[in-house]
């Protein structure tokens, strides 16, 4: 098999082979993710990342009620950046699998290693997707409830759930949000773990992720629904559950990658 030199300085082989997977593989990946969490928890790191962000958003909404309609899109959209944050968990899982030291000192290794440029490029791409989602959310709000400026949270809730315009915002927002979630899943299902795992470039990693989804559409959709459900549960109450859900999903995503891509 021939090799080529990429403009990121990495030597890569031909296209990785994709395996077919099923529900049993998804269950196995989540189980392994839970086992990894119990051994190397990560809840403190997630709390340290999430709560300052949520706290700042809450404070901003409290001082400027006009920003209230963007609170949910901001919080929901943070999941778009999840694969980049999870790179540290991919690295810990990879090191544990290879019987290498896997202490927390290695959490940020991917962003200082051989594929740091590729990971930064992919992270920047996710930031762009995140900003596009926020733009779309604001446009939906502008087309539905923008004429109403809430003075309190109660007023906004009444308008949101008690008017046709409010339900239009909810339904259209959910459809557009689903589209952004699907795009993120297709582009990142295996791309970030692959960049952590081997010398490759973003284009190869993304194309492999797209092929993995296209060859396993049912399993990919099921995984996306599981992730969405767990993230919703993790937000209750007060986002505390995300301290468990995000590390488990990070570890589980690594194990799913090892089932999907022949290494």
Please name the residue that has the structure tokens 């092929």: 211
Which pLDDT score, from 0 to 100, does residue 53 have?
67
State yes or no: pLDDT of 240 exceeds 80: no
Residue ranges per domain, the chain? 28-260
Better-predicted residue by pLDDT, 238 or 34: 34
State yes or no: pLDDT of 245 exceeds 80: yes
For residues 181-202, give the mean pLDDT. 95
**How many Å apart are CA 38 and CA 44, to the nearest integer?**
13
Token pair recorded at residue 100? 């290498």
pTM: 0.85
Which pLDDT score, from 0 to 100, does residue 1 have?
39
State the DSSP code for 113: S
Dihedral sign of CA atoms 128, 132, 135, 141 in order: negative
Give the pLDDT confidence of 66-110 residue by residue, as tens digits. Answer: 777 888 888 888 789 989 989 999 999 999 999 898 888 888 899
Which residues does residue 41 pair with via DSSP β-bridges, in sequence order? none
Q: How many helices (H) and strands (E) does the chain have?
A: 12, 2
Going by pLDDT thresholds of 50, 70 and 90, the confidence category of residue 36 is very high
Which pLDDT score, from 0 to 100, does residue 68 have?
77
Reported as type and span, the H/E element at residue 201 is: none
Which pLDDT score, from 0 to 100, does residue 4 have?
39
Mean pLDDT of the chain: 86
Which pLDDT score, from 0 to 100, does residue 62 have?
56
The answer to whether the CB of 199 falls within 8 A of the CB of 193 is no
For residues 49-74, give the mean pLDDT. 69
Give the pLDDT confidence of 118-144 residue by residue, as tens digits. Answer: 999 999 999 999 999 999 999 999 999
Cis peptide bond N-terminal to 237, omega within 30:
yes
**How many Å apart are CA 67 and CA 248, to the nearest integer?**
32
Q: What values do phi and psi take at 183, rounded to 5?
A: -60, -45
Which pLDDT score, from 0 to 100, does residue 7 have?
38
For residues 33-40, give the mean pLDDT. 90
For residues 221-233, give the mean pLDDT. 94
């Amino acid at each position: 098999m021939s090799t080529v030199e990429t403009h990121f300085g990495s030597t890569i082989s031909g296209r990785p082979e994709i395996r077919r997977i099923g529900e049993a593989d998804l269950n196995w990946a989540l189980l392994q993710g839970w086992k990894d969490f119990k051994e190397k928890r990560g809840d403190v790191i997630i709390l340290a990342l999430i709560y300052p962000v949520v706290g700042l958003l809450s404070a901003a909404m409290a001082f400027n009620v006009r920003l209230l309609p963007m609170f949910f899109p901001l919080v929901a959209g943070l999941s778009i950046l999840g694969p980049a944050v999870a790179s540290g968990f991919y690295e810990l899982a990879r090191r544990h699998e290879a019987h290498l030291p896997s202490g927390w000192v290695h959490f940020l290794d991917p962003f200082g290693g051989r594929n740091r440029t590729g990971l930064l490029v992919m992270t920047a791409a996710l930031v762009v997707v995140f900003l596009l989602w926020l733009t779309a959310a604001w446009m939906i709000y502008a087309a539905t409830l923008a004429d109403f400026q809430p003075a309190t949270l109660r007023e906004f809730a009444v308008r949101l759930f008690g008017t046709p315009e409010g339900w239009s915002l909810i339904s259209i927002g959910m459809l557009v949000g689903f589209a952004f979630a699907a795009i993120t899943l297709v582009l990142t299902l295996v791309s970030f773990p692959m960049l952590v795992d081997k010398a490759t470039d973003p284009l190869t990693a993304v194309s492999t992720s797209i092929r993995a989804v296209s060859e396993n559409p049912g399993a990919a959709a099921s995984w996306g629904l599981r992730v969405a459900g767990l993230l919703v549960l993790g937000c209750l109450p007060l986002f505390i559950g995300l301290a468990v859900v995000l590390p488990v999903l990070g570890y589980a995503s690594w194990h799913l990658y090892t089932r999907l891509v022949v290494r």
